Amino acid sequence: MNLQMTKEFYERIETEVEQSLKPKGYRKTKHQHSQMNGNMYSVFDSAGGLTRLIWDAKDRRLIIRVYKKGTWLMKLGKALIGRNDDEKLLRELIINREEFTDSTEEQVIKRIVDAI
Protein backbone atom coordinates (compact mmCIF):
# COMPACT_ATOMS: atom_id res chain seq x y z
CA MET A 1 0.00 0.00 0.00
CA ASN A 2 2.69 2.51 1.01
CA LEU A 3 0.58 4.85 3.14
CA GLN A 4 2.20 8.26 3.65
CA MET A 5 1.70 10.72 6.50
CA THR A 6 0.58 14.13 5.32
CA LYS A 7 -0.49 17.14 7.31
CA GLU A 8 -4.06 16.54 6.13
CA PHE A 9 -4.02 12.89 7.23
CA TYR A 10 -2.56 13.82 10.62
CA GLU A 11 -5.27 16.46 11.07
CA ARG A 12 -7.91 13.84 10.21
CA ILE A 13 -6.49 11.51 12.90
CA GLU A 14 -6.32 14.45 15.32
CA THR A 15 -9.99 15.28 14.66
CA GLU A 16 -11.06 11.66 15.25
CA VAL A 17 -9.10 11.53 18.51
CA GLU A 18 -10.58 14.85 19.62
CA GLN A 19 -14.13 13.67 18.86
CA SER A 20 -13.52 10.47 20.85
CA LEU A 21 -12.07 12.30 23.85
CA LYS A 22 -14.44 15.29 23.99
CA PRO A 23 -17.32 13.37 25.68
CA LYS A 24 -14.81 12.32 28.37
CA GLY A 25 -14.02 15.96 29.21
CA TYR A 26 -10.82 16.31 27.19
CA ARG A 27 -9.87 19.30 25.09
CA LYS A 28 -6.95 19.92 22.79
CA THR A 29 -4.46 22.13 24.61
CA LYS A 30 -1.39 21.91 22.35
CA HIS A 31 -0.48 20.97 18.85
CA GLN A 32 2.53 21.52 16.69
CA HIS A 33 3.26 20.70 13.08
CA SER A 34 6.96 21.19 12.43
CA GLN A 35 7.70 22.26 8.87
CA MET A 36 11.42 21.67 9.31
CA ASN A 37 11.52 17.99 10.26
CA GLY A 38 7.94 16.83 9.68
CA ASN A 39 7.21 15.88 13.30
CA MET A 40 3.70 16.56 14.56
CA TYR A 41 2.11 16.23 17.97
CA SER A 42 -1.09 17.07 19.82
CA VAL A 43 -1.97 17.06 23.50
CA PHE A 44 -5.48 16.51 24.84
CA ASP A 45 -6.02 17.35 28.50
CA SER A 46 -8.71 16.73 31.10
CA ALA A 47 -8.91 16.98 34.87
CA GLY A 48 -8.04 13.30 35.26
CA GLY A 49 -5.93 12.47 32.25
CA LEU A 50 -3.71 13.43 29.37
CA THR A 51 -3.43 11.97 25.87
CA ARG A 52 -0.57 12.62 23.47
CA LEU A 53 -0.70 11.93 19.73
CA ILE A 54 2.73 11.97 18.09
CA TRP A 55 3.99 11.52 14.53
CA ASP A 56 7.73 10.78 14.59
CA ALA A 57 8.80 11.66 11.05
CA LYS A 58 12.36 10.40 11.44
CA ASP A 59 11.31 6.86 12.41
CA ARG A 60 8.01 7.11 10.52
CA ARG A 61 5.88 5.92 13.39
CA LEU A 62 2.63 7.07 14.95
CA ILE A 63 2.29 6.98 18.73
CA ILE A 64 -0.59 7.55 21.10
CA ARG A 65 -0.01 7.65 24.84
CA VAL A 66 -2.76 7.82 27.45
CA TYR A 67 -1.84 9.01 30.94
CA LYS A 68 -3.72 9.24 34.22
CA LYS A 69 -3.07 12.33 36.30
CA GLY A 70 -2.36 11.98 39.98
CA THR A 71 -4.53 13.51 42.68
CA TRP A 72 -3.53 16.79 44.30
CA LEU A 73 -2.43 14.84 47.38
CA MET A 74 -0.16 12.64 45.26
CA LYS A 75 1.25 15.73 43.52
CA LEU A 76 1.95 17.35 46.88
CA GLY A 77 3.67 14.24 48.21
CA LYS A 78 5.87 13.92 45.13
CA ALA A 79 6.70 17.63 45.21
CA LEU A 80 7.82 17.31 48.82
CA ILE A 81 10.32 14.62 47.85
CA GLY A 82 11.50 16.56 44.80
CA ARG A 83 9.60 14.75 42.05
CA ASN A 84 7.21 16.31 39.57
CA ASP A 85 6.12 13.29 37.51
CA ASP A 86 2.44 13.26 38.36
CA GLU A 87 1.32 11.36 35.25
CA LYS A 88 1.11 7.58 35.02
CA LEU A 89 1.22 5.92 31.60
CA LEU A 90 -1.90 3.78 31.22
CA ARG A 91 -1.71 2.78 27.55
CA GLU A 92 0.61 3.24 24.63
CA LEU A 93 0.18 2.25 21.01
CA ILE A 94 3.05 2.53 18.55
CA ILE A 95 2.33 1.95 14.89
CA ASN A 96 5.76 1.38 13.43
CA ARG A 97 6.95 2.12 9.90
CA GLU A 98 6.04 -1.28 8.42
CA GLU A 99 2.60 -1.44 10.04
CA PHE A 100 1.89 2.14 9.03
CA THR A 101 2.84 1.81 5.36
CA ASP A 102 0.96 -1.51 5.02
CA SER A 103 -2.29 -0.08 6.45
CA THR A 104 -5.11 2.01 5.04
CA GLU A 105 -6.01 5.39 6.53
CA GLU A 106 -9.15 3.88 8.04
CA GLN A 107 -7.19 1.04 9.69
CA VAL A 108 -4.73 3.49 11.24
CA ILE A 109 -7.49 5.73 12.55
CA LYS A 110 -9.40 2.77 14.01
CA ARG A 111 -6.31 1.46 15.83
CA ILE A 112 -5.58 4.89 17.30
CA VAL A 113 -9.16 5.54 18.42
CA ASP A 114 -9.48 2.01 19.86
CA ALA A 115 -6.36 2.61 21.96
CA ILE A 116 -7.84 5.61 23.73
In a domain, 52, yes or no: yes
In a domain, 94, yes or no: yes
Which stretches of the chain are assigned E, i.e. beta strand? 27-33, 40-45, 49-56, 61-69, 87-95
In a domain, 71, yes or no: yes
In a domain, 2, yes or no: no
Full residue range of the structural domain in which residue 24 is found? 7-115
In a domain, 53, yes or no: yes
Across all residues in the chain, what is the average pLDDT? 90
In a domain, 1, yes or no: no
Domain count for the chain, please give it. Answer: 1
Single pTM value for the model: 0.85
Reply yes or no on whether the pLDDT at 74 is more than 90.
Answer: no
In a domain, 90, yes or no: yes
Work out the pLDDT band at 81, boundaries 50, 70, 90. Answer: confident
Query: How many degrees, rounded to 5, is the angle at CA 64 between CA 49 and CA 85?
Result: 45
Of 91, 113, 105, give the one whose Cα is nearest residue 23: 113
The dihedrals phi and psi of 25, each to the nearest 5 degrees, come to: 90, 10
